[in-house]
Structure 1
Amino acid sequence: MADELLHETRSDVLWLTLNRPEVHNALNAAMTDALTHAIRAASGDRGLRAIVITAAGDRSFCSGADLKESAGGMFLSRDGTNPIADVMRAIESCDKPVIARINGRVLAGGLGLVAACDLAYAADHAEFGLPEVRVGLFPAMVAAKLLAKIPLAALQEMAYLGQPVSAAEAKRLGLVNRTASPAELDGLIEDVLTKLRQNAPGAIATGKAALLAMRDMSSHQRLIFAESTIATISGSDEAREGRQAFAEKRPPRWANGS
């Protein structure tokens, strides 16, 4: 049987491909464990600038938890945590930008993966849905991430009615950054990666952690935290190199070689 998750390092980017197209890339224990391990291993790897998560085939990015997994195992806690929630935590705690390349329909827990990613780009034929109520469930874990991404009214309609929305609507709601035709999707991803490479990796890592930390703070707390964060970043080797490069009118040379 083919590997549940394919790994490929392309230059300085780790590509992770969900590889169960025969079941719409549904998440089972093997796939979630592999995803969590791969993302955690990539975090801290100075040779990598980003992670791209995509899927095999062109019909589905991910249909969520595999409902055929024994005894509802994808919905039970293991050692106090849920396997899909573990993937979301790994994405959020990773010090690299994690990018969703969405090549088809996204449902249920698959939408949770997209919501956890830092950036998301979708083929314009993709659809996004929360059909859990149709099988007696509710997208509680997915909602935990979507509440910070899309308006509450839109989340309620998706969760209560179980009807999918188009890629264009997902972009309007803020769930994805941009859409493209299937033929142009890879070009869009490469353009994003090219732009990321021009920027300071340490600043991005610190900024990603700061955005996550500030999300649950009051306005007053955010400003205090931001003052401390910018003071730390401004004293870094990257910031010194950036200022020097600006003065010398040349591209900055980051520590990872980009």
Structure 2
Amino acid sequence: MSDFESGTDLEFSTLLYRERDGVAWVTLNRPERHNAFDLVMAEEIHRLWKTLRHRDSVRCVVLTGSGDKAFCTGIDRDTVVPQPSSPYMVDDPGVALGPKTADLWKPVVAAVNGMACGGAFYLLGECEFLIAAEHATFFDPHVTYGMVMAYEAVHLAQRMPHGELARLALLGTAERMTARRAYEIGFVSEVVPDNTALTAAAEQAARTIAACEPSAIEGTVRAVWAAREMSKAHAMATAPHLVQLGNIAPERQADLFATRAKGGDWRAR
């Protein structure tokens, strides 16, 4: 991705940022730690999501990790997180990692380029869809090391069948879900042979999204998440407002229909 134009005004110590043709490429950049996040990365990711809310040049985001071994392996075990003295309050730097938590409603496509485990699910749980390289794997180490898998389970319960989540959670480090199995259960939407193909597939999807009207895309993202998180009645009541906010003017719709009526080129998946 070195040919991408650099976002010189968006510089980070733990992330790589590139932007081109309406697509922002965000790369977790701690490969020596398998892209595990520390307090600095957690702060930088959250700040980036907040910044992209105001960056109209970005219409879609691709999120990936450096190297070919890991997308993200959760929190860096050397990170010390100070905790309140009260047992009723917990500071967890992972809870602010997701784009939706930061109120970013531009679509985020995850390009999973290796291991994804533990706190990685804070990120993957709030992406629109996942594309994975064949060698990518998914697992959660919490129970192996005497910890409760809680926040991650909440995210994953919305994206995979109960039995698959329970198996992933309870077998800990003893078993990893392959990219193919993740595809079979609907957690991953596409599996590609390697990281080169992963970049190409993510770019094709992201550029297609970025070519559409931003208000329609963002309204659709809100509708999809409303359908997932609200009751059906509540989501249906929200739908007319999203349509009113996000639809472009009828004459502009007619122009797009005239130029795109045949749909253009398409690919089967």
Give the TM-score, by structure 1 length. Answer: 0.85
Query: 1:128 is matched with which residue: 138, 146, 164?
Result: 138
Asked if 1:102 is matched to 2:100, the reply is no
Matched, 1:9 2:41: no
Q: Which residue, 199, 212, 219 being the options, matches 1:199?
A: 212
2:203 is aligned with 1:190: yes
1:93 aligns with 103
Tell me the CA shift for residue 47 of structure 1.
Answer: 0.9
| Alignment partner, residue 255 of structure 1 | none
1:149-172, CA deviations, whole angstroms, 9 ceiling, x for partnerless residues? Answer: 101111111111112100011111
CA-to-partner distance for each residue in 1:89-112, whole Å, 9 max, x for gaps? 546721211111111111111133
Determine helix, strand or coil for the equivalent of 1:31. Answer: helix
Query: How many Å apart are 1:51 and its aligned residue?
Result: 1.3
Structure 2 contact 139–168 (Cα < 8 Å) conserved: yes
Match of 2:149 among 139, 143, 146: 139
Taking structure 1 as reference, are residues 176 and 91 closer, same or farther at Cα in structure 2, changes over 3 Å only?
Answer: farther
State which of 241, 253, 258 in structure 1 corresponds to 2:252: 241
The SS at the match of 1:67 is coil
Q: CA RMSD for the aligned pairs?
A: 2.5
Q: 1:43 to 1:81 in 2, by over 3 A?
A: farther
| Structure-2 residue corresponding to 1:222 | 235
Deviation string, structure 1 residues 56-108 (Cα, Å, up to 9, x no partner): 110111111111112577xx99x976321111254672121111111111111
Q: For residues 164 and 78 of structure 2, what CA distance do their matches in structure 1 show?
A: 29
Letter in 1 for 2:229: D
Equivalent position of 2:28 in the other structure: 18
Partners of 1:120 and 1:91 in 2: how far apart? 18
Instruction: Write the letter of the residue equivalent to 1:216.
Output: E
Cα distance change, pair 210–23 in 1 and its aligned pair in 2 (3 A): same
Q: Percent identity?
A: 27
Q: Report the alpha carbon displacement of residue 227 of structure 1 after superposing the two structures with TM.
A: 3.4
**Cα distance between partner residues in 1 of 2:244 and 2:100:** 27
Kindly indicate which of the two structures has a greater share of residues assigned to helix.
1
CA 199–71 in structure 1, closer or farther in 2 if over 3 Å, else same = closer
Q: Distance in 2 between matches of 1:99 and 1:89?
A: 11
How far off is 1:20 after superposition?
1.0
| Partners of 1:25 and 1:60 within 8 A in 2 | yes
What count of residue pairs does the alignment treat as equivalent? 244
For 1:171 and 1:92, the matched residues in 2 are separated by 27
Partner SS, residue 188 of structure 2: coil
TM-score calculated relative to the size of structure 2: 0.82
Moved over 6 A (4+): none
Shift of 1:12: 1.9
Match of 1:38 in 2: 48
Aligned-partner SS, 1:70: coil
Residue 201 of structure 1: CA displacement?
A: 1.3
What are structure 2's unaligned runs of at least 5 residues? 1-11, 262-269
